[in-house]
Amino acid sequence: MYFVDRDELVLKLNYITELTRDFQTAEHYALERICHMLIESTVDVGNMMIDAFIMRDPGSYQDVIDIMKMEKVISKQDADMISATLPLRQWMVRDYTHVDHSELKKVFETNINAYQNFQTSVEIFIERELGPVSAFGKGAKNEKV
């Protein structure tokens, strides 16, 4: 197991939850930022989980979601919903002058529940999987498994 800073994980999970709350009222650039950060922060937390529990190495954003589904960090339904939003990342990052905000809003509205469920799913997984050894800590140099 690799050590993962639990405080950092909690900050990122809380950030995702805050983004889902702000999503409903967001428009234009704020909408783009929220949608982009939902994807980025979810994948970031996924990578932290993969590192902490020594799951197989992901090769892409989609792979991170697939691994979390396979390892039962998130449900198949939530994985499918998050996966439906991943292609929009390319739109927001590479083709940002042509983002259709109504389409962006529609796709995320259809799938926002998966992001709303994410924090609870991760917390339940950690609680279920951790025994007497924790891969989550402050990451101090002298910390032992």
- Contact at 8 Å (CB) between 85 and 71? no
Whether residue 56 lies in the annotated active site: no
- Contact at 8 Å (CB) between 106 and 73? no
Indicate which residue of 33, 89, 94, 128 is catalytic.
89
DSSP percent split of the chain into helix, strand, coil, nearest 5: 70, 5, 25
CB atoms within 10 A of CB 118: 24
- Contact at 8 Å (CB) between 87 and 18? no
- Contact at 8 Å (CB) between 73 and 122? yes
Q: Which residues are catalytic?
A: 89
